[in-house]
Each structure stands twice: as C-alpha cells, then as structure tokens.
Amino acid sequence: MSFCGAKFSAIKQKLTTLCNKLGGDLCRALAIAGLVLYVIYIIVSNPYGQSSEFFSSLIFKNGRNSYTNTKISDIVFGIATSAKTWRDKRPYIEEWWQPNVTRGFVWFDQAPKEYLPWPSYSPPFRVSEDIKKFKEFDEHAMPNVVRLARVILETFREVNKGVKWYVVADDDTVLFVDNLVEVLSKYDHNGYFYIGHNSECVGSNFDHSFSMAFGGAGYALSYPLAKALARNLNQCIMRYPYLFGSDHILQSCISDLGVLITHERGFHQIDLHSDISGFLSAHPRTPFLSLHHLDRVDPIFPLMKRPEALKHLMKAAKVDSSRLLQQSICYHKPNNWTFSISWGYSAQIYEKIHPASIIERPLQTFNPWKSSSRPPTYMFNTRLLTKDPCQAPHFFFFDSIETKTGGNQIITNYIRRWPRKLPTCLSSGKHSADSISKIRVISPAKRLYGVGRRGECCDVVRMFGGVNGFTEVRIRECMEDEMTVA
C-alpha cells in the first residue's frame, strides 16, 4: 500500500469510530469536511504530483474494475423471429442458448400457439406489440421492418435491471457466448457503445451503410445507449420511412444520438453463398463471435447435413471457444511444407513454403451474396482457387476432440475427406503430401485472453508416412520476437 493509501485507511478507521459515537447528520458532515480538507492537504503538500499514485488507484478501483468483470448474466438477448420461421430457425438458437444461464427473449409477430407448451430449453418468448395501432408508422413502406427495429425497445422494457449489455440478433444467428462475454469485457458498459460489424460484401454495405452493424451477425448495445434508444426510438422511426432495413433504421437512430459503430471483426453476417470453408479457415485474429445464414450456404463440414455440421463445430466450441477458428501457421522445412491450422475446424498442407501474410487471406471457395456484384466484391483480400499444385492446399476437416490425461492439453484430429487430385509441387523438392490422411493437433488447455495478443505459433513435431500417414502439430505461445517464417 502507498503512503497516501495508508494515511487514507487510518483516517477512515478514525472516522468510523467517531461516527459510532456521534451518528446521524453530524457524522456525515464531519466526514465530508474531513475528506475535503485531506484532499487540499495532499495537493498543497505534494506540489510535484507525488499524490498521483493515490488518485489513480482510486480511479482504477472505482472505474475500470467496475466494468471488466462482465458475466453472461449481465447480458440480455433480444432475438426477432416469427411464427412462420420458428420451426426451421429454432435449432440455431437452441444450439447456443443456455437455459437458466443466458437471459433474454425471442420476439414473435403473433402468439406461437402451435409450439405450446413452450419448452424450457428454448429462450422465453414474447409477442411484439401490434404496430398497426401506431398510426404514425403508416408511412413506412415495410411495417414488419418497424417491428424488428423495435425489438431493442421491447427487450429493454421487459428487462432493465442488472443489465450491462443488450445483444440483438436474428433467429438464425449462432452466437458463441463465452467469447462474446470476453469481448464485451473490454468496453465500459457505462459509456455509449454500439458494437458489431459490417457485411462481408461491399454491395451489402453499399445498399445499407458502411457504418451499420448487421443484425444477422448480432450486435451489442451498452445499457445507456439502449436506454436512450428506448426513449427515442418511436419518434426516430418516423424520421426514416424510406429505410427498408431494421438494422439501418436502428443505426440511423444511434447516429442521431451521436454514437458511431465500434467494429468487432468476430461478428459474421455471412452474406456469402456456396462453400465457406475458405472463409472459416482464415479467420481474423480475434475471438469468433457469431455465424449467420447457415441455411443459405453449403454445410460447413463436408458429408454432413447442416444441423449435424453445426453440432459438430459446437463440440470444439464447448471445449475451448476462445481458440475456435484461430489460425496458426508453421512449417516442415525438410519437405518444404506449410501448415495452416484453423483450430476446431480445418487444417491445410501446402507443398511449398508460403509466408503467413499469404495464408491469412481466405481461399475464395465462396460466392458473393449478389451474383451481379462487381469488383471489388469483398471487404477483405482473398486468394483465387487454383490447380497449381504449389498453391492449392490439401484440405483436412475437424473430426474429433479429447482432453489429454492430466487435463493440461487438448487434442483435435483433422482428417482428409477427399484426395487433392493434383500432381506434386516440383519447384519445392517434389515432396508429396498425398499420403497424409490425418493431422493431430495438440494445444494448451487454457483460454486465450488479452487485448492485443499475438497469434499462437506451432511446430510440426512428428511425421509418419505410409498409406495412412499422419502428422502431429503442437500449438504453443510464440516466443519473444519470434516470427512465423520458414
């Protein structure tokens, strides 16, 4: 304890003893006067600022610590759905919802009578207000958009005690709640925060707004911002009868309150089509927060149906969500191979040494949301698919997960689902990886934490050839100043 802190504690103890004797208003008046005099004394007797340690400790104690301990119970979820879509969408919600742990509601356009009695493993439901009674909304071209925009208002009215954050999402959004808690813990919930991310496609952002968080990806509003929106939203909606997206209406209202978007790249709208394995195999170095539009893309694992594929991904997420999709890149120099591990999802072997800056770009296995899109199509750089054996990877997909005896290591296994059907890369020594059928990855059994952290490094520790050859890769913390180079 600092000198100033020790003196403050001594004074506090003396004041407590005095209060026990005097009590009431006199005690409070004396306490306030004493503290004021003490502060003046500190300032006068420390003209060069030696007391800064004391004051900064008070600020830290009453400021930062008060918001960095966000818990799941501090978050309330508002999810828009409808009686027509619930049957198909509910599996997505029930995959991440934690009964008696997560808080929030699904908001229906009408009472879901055919689903009663309501199951305990689904989020509680509410029915949105009938907006037809609000004549001031008659000018809006799409009344249902108004209902969706008001989900945050209705959720706030329903629960506004003991809340730090409100998270708004669609009924086909898959959220990774532990990662979401960690990310929101970086921010002061007492401030005005609007946290989310854009679409992956330039066209979608152009049609709506580059300053907008897409609701399919999910976005978070701090309590003060949600409160301000609840007070002003109906009036704000009337100002924007020409906007056809509920997220765009909400973003415009938030902008009117003087708040801009804070981008978190772990939110994923997935405005993509076809095979998104290339996108998921090169996730940005940030916690994986959400998925969306899974019924509009191919199953995320080959040879599986969509619900089965999602459950398969959640097996890894439930063991270590912090490492999910986090990319580690390393090399096997004797064979001139590059390994890319997307933890819990995929592994790749390239028959040539490629720098991390190249492998971090997603392979363009997917198509844009609109087939008529003109370049630039995506909000990120991509690599085109190729039949060049030195550029095209051998693809392996997550198969199983286990915790090693002792509990300090996690083992994930990735298997080849189909042959690459390309010749060997000649320019790097003609070392074929065709015989490798499985990659075994060992990672630490501890969560990844920290703002501004580096990615993890890895080593190829064992290699077994033959018909059913396999490779063992160990993920580890990077050493100081270590670079991912061959």
Tell me the three-class secondary structure of 231-299, residue by residue.
Answer: HHHHHHHHHCCCCCCHHHHHHHHHHHCCCCEEECCCCCCCCEEECCHHHHCCCCCCCCCEECCCCCECC
Which domain does 127 fall in, by range? 72-268
97 with 240, same domain?
Answer: yes
97 with 221, same domain?
Answer: yes
Residue 230 tokens, joined:
């609840």
116 with 220, same domain?
Answer: yes
Instruction: List, for residues 441-485, the tens digit of each pLDDT value.
Output: 999 999 998 777 899 999 999 998 778 899 999 999 999 999 987
Q: Phi, psi at residue 425, to the nearest 5°?
A: -70, 120
Flag whether 55 is in a domain. Answer: no
Burial bucket for residue 457 (CB in 10 Å: 0-12, 13-18, 19+): middle
Last-in-domain residue among 233, 248, 268: 268
Burial bucket for residue 321 (CB in 10 Å: 0-12, 13-18, 19+): buried
Instruction: List, for residues 10-22, the tens digit of each pLDDT value.
Output: 555 555 555 555 5
Flag whether 145 is in a domain. Answer: yes
Q: 């056809």: which residue's tokens?
A: 244
- Of the candidates 279, 168, 305, 325, the one whose C-alpha atom is nearest the C-alpha of residue 233 is 168
Enumerate residues 6+ apart whose C-beta is below 8 A from 251. 194, 209, 211, 212, 213, 261
Last-in-domain residue among 226, 248, 268: 268
Residue 447 tokens, joined:
């969560």
Number of domains in the chain: 2
Q: In the prediction, which pLDDT does 35 show?
A: 61
What is the rounded average pLDDT for all residues in the chain? 89
- Give the separation between CA 453 and CA 284, rounded to whole angstroms: 12
Instruction: List, for residues 77-135, the tens digit of each pLDDT value.
Output: 999 999 999 999 999 999 999 999 999 999 999 999 999 999 999 999 999 998 887 77
135 with 227, same domain?
Answer: yes
Lowest mean pLDDT among 256-260, 424-428, 451-455: 451-455
Beta strands 337-342 and 261-263, pairing class: unpaired
Flag whether 87 is in a domain. Answer: yes
Flag whether 378 is in a domain. Answer: yes
β-strand partners of 476: 457
| Span 218-222, average pLDDT | 99
330 with 448, same domain?
Answer: yes
Lowest mean pLDDT among 268-282, 331-345, 441-455: 441-455
**H or E element, residue 37:** helix 24-45
Return the SS3 of 346: strand
Is residue 25's pLDDT more than 80? no
Q: Half-sphere exposure of 427 toward its Cβ, with a 13 Å CA cutoff?
A: 8
168 with 252, same domain?
Answer: yes
257 with 370, same domain?
Answer: no
pLDDT band per the 50, 70, 90 thresholds, residue 5: very low
Last-in-domain residue among 243, 268, 293: 268
250 with 351, same domain?
Answer: no
Flag whether 399 is in a domain. Answer: yes
252 with 326, same domain?
Answer: no
330 with 466, same domain?
Answer: yes
347 with 223, same domain?
Answer: no
- Give the separation between CA 43 and CA 51, rounded to whole angstroms: 7
CATH of the domain at 145: 3.90.550.50
Flag whether 446 is in a domain. Answer: yes
Flag whether 420 is in a domain. Answer: yes
135 with 252, same domain?
Answer: yes
Flag whether 60 is in a domain. Answer: no
